[in-house]
Structure 1
Amino acid sequence: MAPKKGRLPLLFFPSSGEVISEPLGVVLIFASWNFPIALSLDPLIGAISAGNTAVLKPSELAPACSSFLADTIPHYLDCRAIKVVSGGADVGDRLLQQKWDKIFFTGSPRVGRIVMSAAARHLTPVTLELGGKCPTILDTLSSPSEIKIAVKRIVGAKWGPCSGQACISTDYVLVERKFAPTLIDLLKLTIKNFYGDEPRNSKNMCKIINKHHFERLRNLIEEPAVAASIVHGGSLHEKEQFIEPSILLDPPLDAEIMTEEIFGPLLPIITLNNIRESVEFINSRPKPLVIYAFTKDESFKRQLVLETSSGGVTFNDTMVQFLCDDLPFGGVGQSGFGRYHGKYSFETFSHEKAIMTRGFFPEIEPRYPPWNRFKLRFIRHAYEFDYFGLLLLLLGLKK
């Protein structure tokens, strides 16, 4: 929160410059249902720390957590400055009709467009944390033991916390064609080790959030060409809203499962002739929220960083970057824009205001017309902190 000093050109001597952070005002925060506590409190902490007042709208798809936040927050925080508003989509629409100084939204690109359109009516700045199809690249340069660790991390991220119902979950895996059978065998073995022979009975896997999303996922894999690509799993239990961990090998690239964010326990494997082709594959699609890459090839790492665009890149692990508050978290392009976490949350909910102060003397006459060659050179040297050139000019040794 301390002012930041700015270095000003010699041309404006004597002067001082600083940048101060001030609150934006009254902010509106829309939280998502898949991590309803964290995705509510994380941006709220940033808004409060920056000095704003805030309205929090938790997701109605997580009613127990929404009620908990609505009941608990007023007991510990100033209810005149921070309010929790519960309700469905109609309440969200009514909130969007109001004028806000900032809107922070976590959710799908479809609803993100609605939020952005509503904000545009009042020229309200927005931060959109959306998502996208996050690829995982598995290079085969690592040792067999490292490959096994990579597979464990992929399985743990895809099916562990929320059965793939996370914006930063692995959406599909890119691997060289010759390695695909080995990868599938390792994935099957790891799934069995983590969730047993009957994942449906495991206490370490969660269900699909509601019937709508269950039907959406059902439609993804019941398309004939997609169903034919299933090499593991695929069973659905409608009454329990449970879908078995499922692996698909090279489903059609134009199928909905490869064009829309999956947000569920379905994992397509896309095979390539050479792992370097993954750069072109990723660039041919909308920019993802994060790219995961398991590789020890330093030149390939540099290529991924320099030749692709994504909200972030994580090497040799999955999802852990979300927990690192010293790293900004956010998307780019269709995966959203804006950033938060740690000090970046403070910056997201602040306006950085420039303050410049000058004295009256000495007055720099070359800034005023009529201009000539001497004045223009004087201004250039003073602006560029070129003391030697300025001295030569004043001594008449430089024309």
Structure 2
Amino acid sequence: MKKLLSVVALGALMSSPALSADVKVGSVAGVTGPIAELVAPILAGRNLAADHVNAAGGLLDGNRLVMIQADSQCDAKAAVDAASKVVNVDRVVAIVGASCSGATSGMAQAVTIPAGIASVSDTSTAPSITDLDDNGRVFRTVPSDAYQGATLAQYAYDLGFRRLAVTYANDDYNAGFAAVFAATFPELGGTITASQAHEPAKPSYRAEVATLASAGDAEALALFAYYGGSGITIIRNSLEAGLFSRFLGGDAMVDQSVIDRIGADTLRGNIWLTQPISEEDSVSHMAFADAFAARGNDPQAPFAAHGYDATFVVALAIEKAGSTDSAAIAKALTQINDPDGEIINAGEWAKAKAAIAAGKAINYEGATGSVDFDANGDVPGSYGISTVGGKGTWQVAPIH
């Protein structure tokens, strides 16, 4: 089945029909900044979804889906500038992105919500996004850290940790993630010996690490940071000073550069990172994984499948709306997961297009699993734990 799906997908791409016009969608992402390496496969996932749409008939009356890329730099101000450009100059009808929660919040509040443009983020997990006064314009294909923080706390407790120090970068994503973790761990019976915010991109965190270590006999450091912002430096400073040797954290630390710069032997058995994962045994995920791998990409790259789904659901919403009207697209995003509708898997654009044309309800089962937006534009999700494997790379296992 997997081979058949990938052959069909690749065959469709090779025989892509000529399309009549362009429908522009913004692709706002942290192309540069502290998670640049993490973003590259996410963009590849987005572009794969757009290619699947264009290869199987395009949007509406054969229009080509064009992703207009803009760099949000994992920064709120840069995201505002990027969104302003794609909305006001390129005239996009919707946006996929941004990367990083602070960037998404800034972009949404300053640009997309006032403009009435729907945005679907594939990486922004801060709980605060749930509470945005967005008039039904902000969505995400990745679950909130309200779940991930609790999941990491439970996992840490199950590992046997009872006393943990916490440090977090002073931004929306990391502060929100840390707050949920720090509230949940004591409820399970653990103790937070110290909790401290830090500013990203400093050359050294030796003083901060020393303060955390002196506050109590912590068994490990729970580190909430972007790997390229402060995460790697804090781990290095902790190890060099002999203050912390074991670390817990989240998806923003899952990058190969962490292992390469700290050392696989040093981190193996000493670091545990949660990350959202896909339902890898589903037909939909296997179709995505085969097509993504055929392009030389790693289907397990964090958020790559979420990037695919974010783009595909925007395309489905445009098709469902029957127009490029922004308000209609936003409304249609809530209508593509009817539990009684015809199931649409990743890559099945021709099937989706035909069903919508026939007036049928559809139910998109994405590359990540169910993309069933609730009233706040949030989705459910599953998590895995990333550890350093024998080959010196991250290995991910589901958390049950």
Q: TM-score, normalised by structure 2?
A: 0.31
Q: TM-score, normalised by structure 1?
A: 0.31
Query: Hey, which of these two has a bigger chunk of helix by percent?
Result: 2
Structure with the greater alpha carbon radius of gyration? 1
Specify which structure has the bigger relative contact order, considering alpha-carbon pairs within 8 angstroms and separated by 6 or more residues.
1
